[in-house]
């Protein structure tokens, strides 16, 4: 499902114009990105959490050049679904 599909589904189910729904969806995504970039997690009860995870410094190998590189400590965005979300997917996906 793409962002356009989500906008269409919301527009159909609520009767709100697609342009308004698209602006709302994009504003939501921008708000989540801004919040995570400021190291603030986003919690949506019954859906899940958008969190910032810290990855530790590690040593990696570049096989083609046969060299070792150091990957510095960094942060990545992650999503942790709620228990009800996980249970719903488990029961419907086959």
- Name the residue ranges covered by the structural domains of the chain: 1-40, 51-94
Give burial (CB, 10 Å; 0-12/13-18/19+) of 8: middle
Report d(CA 94, CA 47) in Å as an integer.
21
Count of other CB atoms within 10 angstroms of residue 87: 11
C-alpha distance across the termini of the chain, in Å: 17
Q: pLDDT by residue (tens digit) across 9-38?
A: 999 999 999 999 999 999 999 999 999 999
pLDDT digits (tens, 9 = 90+) for 40-94: 999 999 999 999 999 999 999 988 999 999 999 999 999 999 999 999 998 886 6
pLDDT one-digit tens code per residue, 56-65: 999 999 889 9
């Amino acid at each position: 499902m793409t962002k356009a599909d989500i906008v269409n589904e919301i527009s159909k189910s609520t009767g709100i114009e697609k342009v308004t729904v698209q602006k709302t969806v994009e504003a939501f995504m921008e708000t989540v990105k801004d919040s995570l970039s400021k190291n603030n997690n986003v919690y949506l009860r019954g859906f899940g959490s958008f969190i910032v995870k810290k990855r530790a410094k590690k040593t990696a190998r570049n096989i083609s050049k046969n060299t070792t590189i150091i990957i510095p400590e960094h942060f990545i965005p992650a999503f942790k679904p709620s228990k009800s979300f996980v249970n719903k997917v488990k029961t419907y996906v086959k």
